C-alpha cells in the first residue's frame, strides 16, 4: 500500500491499495476515512493536487462510499499487551530503588 504525507488543512496522510482500490485518509485528530472502489487516477490526482483537502471535498467525499475509523493505536492497547506478555519496562535494580 502506497502512503503519502499530506500538508495543509485537516489532512495528515493518505494511503492507496491498488488491488483493492481502497483509499485511506488520515485526518488531524486521529480519524481515518476509508473510501472503497476509488480508481487509481483519483489517487494520483489527490496526491498531486495543490490543495488535497479541497480535492477530497470536491471529488471524493460525495462520490465514493466511506467508512470511518480511528487511526493509530488505541490507548488501552499497551496495557492489553503488557497483560499478555509482561511489561516492556525493565524493573528497577536494587541500587535504583
Q: Which grid cell sits at 11?
A: 489532512
Digit-by-digit pLDDT tens for the chain (97 residues) are 889 999 878 999 999 999 999 999 999 989 999 999 999 999 999 999 999 999 999 999 989 999 998 755 444 555 565 667 776 555 555 665 5
Q: What angle do CA 71, 73, 78 make, to 5 degrees?
A: 170
Looking at residue 12, what is its pLDDT?
95
Q: Where do the H-state alpha helices sit in 1-97?
A: 40-48, 52-55, 77-85
Q: Do residues 46 and 60 make contact, with C-beta atoms less than 8 angstroms apart?
A: yes
Give the residue from 64, 58, 53, 56 showing the smallest Cα distance to 22. 64
**Residues 26, 40: contact at Cβ < 8 Å?**
no
Amino acid at each position: 500500500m502506497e502512503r503519502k504525507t499530506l500538508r495543509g488543512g485537516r489532512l495528515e496522510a493518505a494511503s492507496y491499495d491498488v488491488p483493492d482500490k481502497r483509499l485511506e485518509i488520515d485526518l488531524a485528530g486521529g480519524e481515518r476515512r476509508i473510501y472503497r472502489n476509488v480508481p487509481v487516477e483519483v489517487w494520483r490526482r489527490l496526491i498531486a493536487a495543490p490543495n488535497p483537502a479541497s480535492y477530497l471535498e470536491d471529488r471524493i467525499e460525495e462520490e465514493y462510499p466511506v467508512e470511518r475509523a480511528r487511526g493509530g493505536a488505541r490507548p488501552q492497547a499497551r496495557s492489553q499487551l503488557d497483560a499478555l506478555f509482561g511489561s516492556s519496562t525493565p524493573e528497577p535494580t536494587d541500587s535504583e530503588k
